[in-house]
Amino acid sequence: METVAEKKSKAEPKLKNMDEKIPGLDITWQQAKDLEWDEEFISVIQAAKKQFSNVNVLNCADEWFIIRSLNRREYRSLVQTQAEAMAKEVDAAADSANPEGVRATLNMMSEEAIASQGTVYPPLELDDIRSRASGVATTLHDSILAISGYQSAPTPIKV
Amino acid sequence: MFLDPRLKTRIPELRRIHKEIFLIDLSNQPGESKVSSILVRPMTRQEFLFLQQDVELECDPTEQILQSCMIWPELDWVDTDKNPLYDLPCMCLEMLSKCIIDVSGFSSNEEIAKYFSDARVAINSLDSVMMTVITRHFHAIKPCELEDMTLSELTRLFAIAETSLEQPIDLRMFLDDEYAEKQVAKEMRKQRKQIGRVPGKMMPGSYRVPQPPEGWNSAQSME
């Protein structure tokens, strides 16, 4: 038979110690609250950290993004896809009066492709990126590449 | 630092092949990779010139640098699915190739000056003097051929080559530091004498009126 205290604890949600770290994350519940992260977003971050080795959270244009590093294989594949697209565009631009404009467009496409691949949440298709503020793609692209390197440069030792 | 046990046998072997090798420890770096450390060699001047051309054409030479200069472990650069370096975050390969460029030294004047300075110091050793005298006397022998000779063979050639010098090599210069210093000072004095600038000796036009002591005032002393 259940005691009164047991009944009460079942009825009320368990209170969190706000200074405790969130399981699997490097921040406390209080810090998450200050950042205005809800439970759903926290659980998405936890799931992303289980799936990928290097996950970061980024705020850009009043929106939270979960990004991850790209490995060399993914990066190479993206670069090759872009190179093929570029070859087609170069052919198309042969008659263009504005080759610099074509190049700028291709750079933007490259940024968008990397931003799309490296963003875990929200899932971003190219159209989703293009409908957001103009600097979002560049910020995501730069941040994804910044977390895709060593934290400290390796030091060669003469042997 | 963690040293892969397989490296303990490979380092001596690879050093004999490539002369100068560097170990890069990746064991403490984040990212999932089966590669805990790599061995690289510096780029040659020709490879560095190719790299400059690649950069001028906005090509990415990263993988080519690693493929050429990474000497251990041996990795599959054709089928990238079998290459564990491709599991690393993408910019890590750029950082590794930068390490190779840095140890090669060609991109920095400071590094070239450092290598040159070390080489200048080394050339004053008896070993280097012996090599210089031999190559000057025996024009047909290339410096790289001397590397394959034993000390006995080298000293025999050295003795023959020395006969062509105006005076024999003073071996004491390499064995007795105090004697060497005295000889160097003596030589310097001799050189100064030849150009007519002996310190302490009065030369025409070299006399200068000494400055008065501090606080001395000529006006006061006249009163």
B127 shares a domain with B47: no
The mean per-residue pLDDT over the stretch B135-164 comes to 89
Note whether B30 contacts A70, CB cutoff 8 Å: no
- DSSP characters over B82-115: G-GGGGSBHHHHHHHHHHHHHHH-TT-HHHHHHH
C-alpha distances in Å from residue A27, one per residue of A35, A146, B42, B140: 11, 21, 43, 72
User: Is some CB atom of chain B closer than 8 A to the CB atom of A100?
Assistant: no
- DSSP characters over B162-191: HTTSSS---THHHH-HHHHHHHHHHHHHHH
Q: Are A49 and A25 spatial neighbours (Cβ–Cβ below 8 Å)?
A: yes
Residue A108: inside a domain: yes
Instruction: Inform me whether the pLDDT recorded for B126 exceeds 60.
Output: yes
Instruction: Inform me whether the pLDDT recorded for B141 exceeds 60.
Output: yes
Mean pLDDT of chain B: 82
* Block residue for tokens 């080489």: B119
Tell which residue, A79, A76, A148, has the closest CA to residue B77.
A76
Q: How confident is the model at residue A70 (pLDDT cuts 50, 70, 90)?
A: very high
The mean per-residue pLDDT over the stretch B190-217 comes to 64
- d(CA A116, CA B42) in angstroms, rounded, equals 37
Tell which residue, A146, A128, A85, A135, has the closest CA to residue A110.
A85
Q: Are B24 and B99 spatial neighbours (Cβ–Cβ below 8 Å)?
A: yes
ipTM: 0.70
Q: Are A67 and A142 spatial neighbours (Cβ–Cβ below 8 Å)?
A: no
Say which residue, B21 or A82, is predicted with more confidence. B21
Residue A136: inside a domain: yes
Domain that holds residue B94: 5-108
From the list A53, A72, A157, the residue facing B90 with the nearest CB is: A72
B128 shares a domain with B87: no
Q: How confident is the model at residue A41 (pLDDT cuts 50, 70, 90)?
A: very high
Mean pLDDT of chain A: 84
Structure tokens at A116: 């799309």
Residue type, B197: R
B40 shares a domain with B23: yes
Note whether A145 contacts B99, CB cutoff 8 Å: no
Closest residue of chain A to B31, computed from CA coordinates: A53
Q: Are B27 and B90 spatial neighbours (Cβ–Cβ below 8 Å)?
A: no
Tell me the per-residue pLDDT of A107-144, one tens digit each, with 9 for 90 and over: 888 889 999 999 999 999 988 988 999 899 999 999 99
Residue A132: inside a domain: yes
C-alpha distances in Å from residue A56, one per residue of A67, A68, A140: 5, 6, 11
Q: What is the pLDDT of residue B190?
A: 85
User: Is some CB atom of chain A closer than 8 A to the CB atom of B82?
Assistant: no
The mean per-residue pLDDT over the stretch A30-34 comes to 91
Phi-psi region of A19 (alpha: psi -120 to 50; beta: other; left: phi over 0): alpha
Question: If contacts are CB pairs under 8 Å, which of residues 103-132 in chain B contact chain A?
Answer: 103
Domain that holds residue A81: 52-146
Percent of all residues in chain A with a pLDDT value above 70, rounded to a whole number = 84
Question: If contacts are CB pairs under 8 Å, which of residues 123-152 in chain A contact chain B?
Answer: 145-151
Q: What is the CATH number of the domain that holds B21?
A: 3.30.2220
Q: Are A111 and A103 spatial neighbours (Cβ–Cβ below 8 Å)?
A: no
Residue A82: inside a domain: yes
B123 shares a domain with B103: no
Instruction: Inform me whether the pLDDT recorded for B214 exceeds 80.
Output: no
Please identify, among B79, B108, B137, the residue that sits at the C-terminal boundary of a domain.
B108
User: Is some CB atom of chain B closer than 8 A to the CB atom of A1?
Assistant: no
Residue A57: inside a domain: yes
Note whether A156 contacts B30, CB cutoff 8 Å: no
Q: What is the pLDDT of residue A137?
A: 93
Residue A97: inside a domain: yes
Q: How confident is the model at residue B211 (pLDDT cuts 50, 70, 90)?
A: low
The mean per-residue pLDDT over the stretch B173-184 comes to 87
Q: What is the pLDDT of residue B223?
A: 43
**What is the domain count for chain B?**
2
The mean per-residue pLDDT over the stretch B62-76 comes to 92
B156 shares a domain with B124: yes
Residue A73: inside a domain: yes
Residue B219: inside a domain: no
B104 shares a domain with B25: yes
- d(CA B148, CA B127) in angstroms, rounded, equals 14
DSSP H/E element including A117 = helix A99-118
B85 shares a domain with B124: no
**What is the domain count for chain A?**
1
Residue A114: inside a domain: yes
Q: What is the pLDDT of residue B197?
A: 57
The mean per-residue pLDDT over the stretch B15-34 comes to 81
Note whether B87 contacts A71, CB cutoff 8 Å: yes
Structure tokens at B188: 């310097």
